[in-house]
């Protein structure tokens, strides 16, 4: 049953990938792929002002779910998850089983943090790039976005979408993970890894345009 649940998510992803290949979000720009490969559809250039104002329009629930779909089922995600699975030290089960669980973890995490919880809490889960100040200041800003986000009306708020969304995703993963991993420690470990991965992702989103600009000069 656990394998069937994860397999169904992968099957849905295959169909969605075909749609992703021919669609792009209206706010996608030239930096919509980190290092020209990894999907980066949820980054907005321009940090909101202190009063919450920004030139970017508010995100809708429909756009939130579209972002989650693009980041979960982009064609590049399939080999990316495959590489992560290959380097995973756990060899207690088959590669196919581990791949399906990893793909399900990634997809459910994306939907919970980018669409479901943001829609329930009226938060904007996109990453608003600072793009200004010293390197350390920007590193700190990017890392803090895992704890601080903005509402759809533009006000700062505790990032329930990230913290709570990943916690919910980690809990749901007990439906298809092995019994040995369906423990409090296992659930908290998956939650921590998801939050840590998203934090590292924020750092990449913050500095990729700078790296991209330098690469284009050479």
Give domain limits for the chain: 2-217
Question: Which whole-number Å values give the CA distances from 87 to 58, 96, 129, in the listed order?
Answer: 39, 13, 31
- Reported as a single tens digit per residue, the pLDDT across 134-185 is 999 999 999 999 999 999 998 999 999 999 999 999 999 999 998 989 999 9
Confidence of residue 117 (pLDDT cuts 50, 70, 90): very high
Closest CA to 206 of 27, 28, 25, 31: 31
Confidence of residue 18 (pLDDT cuts 50, 70, 90): very low
Query: Is residue 93 within 8 Å of residue 178, measured between CB atoms?
Result: yes
Among all chains, which residue has been given the structure tokens 């533009």? 154
- Which of 5-19, 62-76, 162-176 has the lowest average pLDDT? 5-19
Q: Is 199 a residue whose pLDDT tops 50?
A: yes
Average pLDDT, stretch 180-205? 94
Q: H or E stretch including 179?
A: none
Question: Which whole-number Å values give the CA distances from 131 to 37, 134, 140, 166, 211, in the listed order?
Answer: 21, 9, 12, 27, 12
Closest CA to 77 of 93, 61, 99, 97: 99
The better pLDDT of the pair 89, 139 is held by 139
Contacts of 157 (CB under 8 A, 6+ apart): 123, 148, 149, 150, 151
State the pLDDT at residue 193: 93
State the pLDDT at residue 17: 46
pTM equals 0.80
């Amino acid at each position: 049953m656990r394998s069937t649940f994860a397999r169904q998510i992968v099957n849905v992803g295959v169909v969605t990938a075909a749609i992703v290949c021919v669609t792009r979000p209206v706010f996608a720009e030239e930096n919509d792929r980190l290092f020209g490969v990894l999907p980066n559809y949820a980054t907005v250039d321009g940090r909101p002002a202190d009063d919450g104002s920004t030139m970017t329009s508010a995100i809708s629930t429909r756009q939130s779910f579209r972002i989650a779909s693009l980041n979960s089922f982009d064609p590049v995600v399939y080999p990316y998850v495959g590489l992560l699975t290959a380097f995973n030290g756990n060899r207690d089960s088959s590669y196919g089983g581990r791949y399906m669980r990893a793909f399900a973890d990634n997809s459910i995490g994306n939907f919970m943090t980018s669409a479901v919880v943001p829609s329930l809490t009226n938060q904007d889960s996109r990453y608003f790039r600072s793009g200004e100040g010293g390197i350390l200041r920007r590193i700190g800003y990017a890392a803090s976005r895992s704890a601080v986000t903005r509402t759809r009306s533009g006000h700062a708020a505790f990032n329930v979408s990230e913290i709570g969304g990943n916690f919910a995703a980690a809990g749901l993963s007990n439906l298809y993970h092995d019994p040995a991993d369906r423990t409090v420690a296992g659930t908290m470990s998956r939650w921590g890894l998801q939050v840590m991965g998203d934090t590292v992702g924020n750092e990449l989103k913050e500095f990729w345009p700078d790296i991209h600009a330098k690469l284009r000069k050479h």
